Amino acid sequence: LKERWPEPHRRAINAWARRAGAPRLVELSQAVVEAGVYDADAGTALVLANFTYEPIAGLEIALPVNRRVRSVRSVAGGDLPFTEESNTGETYRWKVRCGVDLGLTDILLFE
């Protein structure tokens, strides 16, 4: 894939979700990174696909979760430092923040 996703196109694609007030499942500092969030009893997996096709140094991530997190690990790079904050009044009780150097793909495990 060699497509590019300019801002006007991304706005149009996401317009219905914004109008409906749908919460974002994850906040990323780079708009052209695709993210999938998968919850299981043991934790949460965040699957990342980088559609800039260039390495991203220090991609910032804010992931809402329903249980406290003990560790965050990048499958490609190992353990990551993270912070956790209360997410009072929202659907999810906690928000975990971390950063990762992203190549083309990675999976982050929030356990």
pLDDT in tens, 38-88: 999 999 999 999 988 899 999 999 999 999 999 999 999 999 999 999 987
How does residue 3 score in pLDDT terms, banded at 50, 70 and 90?
low
pLDDT greater than 90 at residue 36: yes
How does residue 20 score in pLDDT terms, banded at 50, 70 and 90?
confident
Comparing 12-26, 44-58, 62-76, 89-103, which segment has the lowest mean pLDDT? 12-26
For residues 68 and 108, what is the distance between their CA atoms, to the nearest angstrom?
Answer: 16
The partner residues of 67 in beta bridges, in order of sequence, read: none
Task: Give mean pLDDT, residues 10-29.
Answer: 83
For residues 80 and 73, what is the distance between their CA atoms, to the nearest angstrom?
Answer: 6
Q: What is the pLDDT of residue 5?
A: 67
DSSP conformation class of 50 = E
For residues 18 and 30, what is the distance between their CA atoms, to the nearest angstrom?
Answer: 18
For residues 72 and 79, what is the distance between their CA atoms, to the nearest angstrom?
Answer: 6
